[in-house]
Structure 1
Amino acid sequence: MSTEARAVAWIGGYPEDSGTGQQGIRLLTADEAGEAAETRWVGAAESPSWLARHHSAAVLYAAQESAGTLAAFRIVGTTLTPFDEIPAGEAVCHLLVGPDLLIACCYGDGDVVRVELHDDGSFGERSLAVPSIDPHAPEGDRQSRAHCAAPLGDGHIVVSDLGHDQLRFFDTADILQQIGTVVLPMGSGPRHLWVHSTSKVSVITEYSCQVITVERINEGPWRILSTVSLLVGDVPADAAGAELTGSSDGAVLYAGVRGPDLIVTLDATATTVLGRTPSGARWPRHHRQLGDRLLVANQESDEISVLQIDPATDLPGGVVGRISTPAPAHILAIDAP
């Protein structure tokens, strides 16, 4: 590795699944040209499938999915030192960090957890939202599966419930007070969210492999605005929608689909598919644009593939680099807020 190597991103994932035996968070470094890149282990954590930064303190948080806990690490340069840990919920899989609180979503039991944060980044009081009620089968036995939370401004958030096929809206001011819902088609599996504005949100669905956009007008109820399919024809049995992100210039959205292993590019309104690009390896669980490259965390291939983005169209092209790393699941830019 070049002496000019710089820290690029924190990498979370499931390294125990890859047989390396070295569970924890890794650091991605690259040379100034972005050509030579590698990851190295920097902190012990159990299945750190999602990472997030504190807004002001030098603290990194990890959702320890297999342990069902939240872990906090102090950041000194590129060194991580664990300093706090609390229970979250079964299979905690996503974190949203605000100035003074953290929201954790738990896939296993459906809990949405509100945790107050102290000024030094340590954990404070913990409370839960009221449990989700399945709008399709209120007397049934489908498991609630909270999967992602996103901010809407003024202390409001939206949470996807993959198991109950709905979006839930909360005021986070003092407790998690539910203030609205949008019911999505049964069996769609809403997973990860992209916020266009305080009144418009898109969600990628794991099971139906669609992007569904919802909106509200004049403070009225939220409603479905549009639905677009990410695949052509019937959805294969092994297909699963994954991550939904926006390009750095705001012109397009990137949607990952596992199984077919694609990055699907949509227009900014999330209504039109502009292109479908192979992810470069197996099971693209997460992706993130860094500069003119799209980094794709291919969990089952134990690698991050690097796709070149066409500056004229924002479409990702072929693989221009491969970075070996065990079972990656999340890429967090080193300078992310």
Structure 2
Amino acid sequence: MRLFTGGYTADMGGQATGIGMLQAGSSDSAFVDGALGFGGEVVAADSPSWLAAHPTRDVIYATLEKTGAVQAYTRTGESTLAPLGDPVPAGEATCHVAVAPDGRELLASCWGDGGVVRMMLDADGRPSDPRRAPAASDPYDAEPDFDAIRAQVLGAAAEDAGEDPVSRPSRAHEARYLADGTVVTTDLGLDLVRIWRPVEGRLRAHQQVALPRGCGPRHTAWHPSGHLYVVTEFSGEVFVLAPDATGSWRVLGGVPLGALPGDTGAEIALGRDGSFVYAGLRGSDTMAVLRVRGGGDALEPAALVETGVAWPRHHIVVRDTLLVEGERSHEVVSSTLDPRTGVPGRIRHRTTVPSPTHLLPVR
């Protein structure tokens, strides 16, 4: 299998030079259990930190995080890409892009300013007409933040924080399209999962689901049972959400990942049959394995294992293999998953990849 690699370039302090190509085993195989090899850059780009594919066209979208834009690329060969039009501005620190299943639009999430930005896609997959969705509201703004107030009184601490010590910034981080047309987005700064519904061809804000203050919801995984799993960056947990019979979303529970002080949650992914969930922790550089219980409405810790990389920013599961990117160790590693316990075994293969941030299988 071949995979595109996103990465941080010099403008974000990284060593990548654009979108790269990773070879995992045989290029014509659906498995990734063979040797890993990095083929280098397929197209130059400035910090293409997240990648997404058009559902029917040979088009790839990248968030140019430092630039704050989305760039479309067309496939020009087996392992080459070329820009499709100019970058489309989205917002400060554009960190995630998701493409609608019908290929008519995409959503860009902007970590820097909290923007959720919708762009329409033409027949060739070219994005245009960026429109910012309504801003989120802080569910905790009525509660005094005593730590922030104390920092404001002391002055120096508030200045060091670099932000308004009372208000909390919105930090959109991911969008996900569900099969019924619903869209869920995360707001890491305001501890929110936002629910959107399509109405007359537009997305309308439907509900804000508040998670515990300060947890920092980052990324999500959708379970076939109809439950949404949300990994948090700051508290190192996974929460389970689902809609009730009336369509109102609620939090069903949560489970800690075993994070150490200073750890930050990163990516979350399901195992092949949905029996296990994998969530990465940067800092201790570990992978939490959670077992899915009940009808998908509960999770329990199964294991916590070393990833073998530094700063495991992103990982994916392909059949019986776990691929993990080490952003700060500049590598990608692969491990075989035990089908009974779900636990990754020892690292089988390793290759150097500069400042990797995302893996996207090539169709």
Cα-to-partner distance string for 1:54-111 (whole Å, 9 max, x where unaligned): 0111000001101101001001221100122210111011111012110111100000
What letter is aligned with 1:44?
A: A
Give the match for residue 89 of structure 1. Answer: 91
1:212 to 239, 242, 265: 239
The CA distance in 1 between the partners of 2:111 and 2:240, in whole Å, is: 22
Separation of aligned partners in 1, 2:56 and 2:185:
24
46-55 or 175-184, which moves further after superposition? 175-184
Which piece of structure 1 moves more, 108-117 or 220-229? Answer: 220-229
State whether residues 244 and 255 of structure 1, in contact with CA within 8 Å, keep that contact through their aligned partners in structure 2. yes
Q: Does the CA contact (< 8 Å) of 1:163 and 1:189 recur in 2?
A: yes
Shift in CA distance, 197/308, structure 1 to aligned 2, threshold 3 Å: closer
Match of 2:129 among 122, 125, 128: 125
Q: Does 1:248 align with 2:272?
A: yes
Compare CA radii of gyration and give the structure with the larger one.
2
Letter of the 2:283 partner, please give it.
G
Kindly tell me: are residues 155 and 138 of structure 1, through their superposed partners in 2, closer, same or farther at Cα, counting changes over 3 Å? farther
- How many residue pairs get aligned? The number is 325
Judge conservation of contact 2:244–2:250 (CA < 8 Å) in 1: no
Given that residues 18 and 302 in structure 1 are in contact (C-alpha distance below 8 angstroms), is that contact kept between their aligned partners in structure 2?
no
Does the 8 Å CA contact 1:114/1:127 hold for their aligned counterparts? yes
Give the SS at the match of 2:328.
helix
Is 1:187 matched up with 2:191?
Answer: no
Change (3 A) 1:34 1:207: same
Amino acid paired to 1:276: L
Deviation of residue 216 (structure 1)?
A: 1.8
* 1:168–1:180 Cα contact (<8 Å) kept: yes
Counterpart for residue 263 of structure 2 = 239
Report the Cα distance in structure 2 between the residues aligned to 1:38 and 1:23, rounded to whole angstroms.
13
1:283 matched to 2:311? The reply is yes
Moved more, 198-207 or 315-324: 198-207
Is the partner of 1:89 in helix, strand or coil?
coil
Counterpart amino acid of residue 18 in structure 2: G
- 2:67 aligns to what? 67
CA contact (8 A) 2:280 2:312 kept: yes
Superposition pairs of residues 83-232 of structure 1, within 5 angstroms: 83-84=84-85, 85-98=87-100, 99=102, 100-137=104-141, 140-173=166-199, 174-197=201-224, 199-231=226-258
- Deviation per residue, 1:15-50 (Å, 9 max, x gap): 335664x52000012443712522311111111110
Return 5+ residue gaps in structure 2 as ranges. 27-32, 144-165
What amino acid sits opposite 2:215 in the alignment?
S
Q: TM-score, normalised by structure 1?
A: 0.91
1:316 matched to 2:310 = no
Runs of 4+ with >6 A deviation: none
2:282–2:311 CA contact under 8 A, matched in 1? yes
Cross-structure match for 2:160? none
Is the contact between residue 223 and residue 274 of structure 2 (CA under 8 Å) also seen in structure 1?
no
Find the counterpart in structure 2 of residue 3 from structure 1.
Answer: none
Tell me the amino acid that sits aligned with residue 302 of structure 1: H
Residue number in structure 2 paired with 1:4: none
Q: Normalized against structure 2, the TM-score is what? A: 0.85
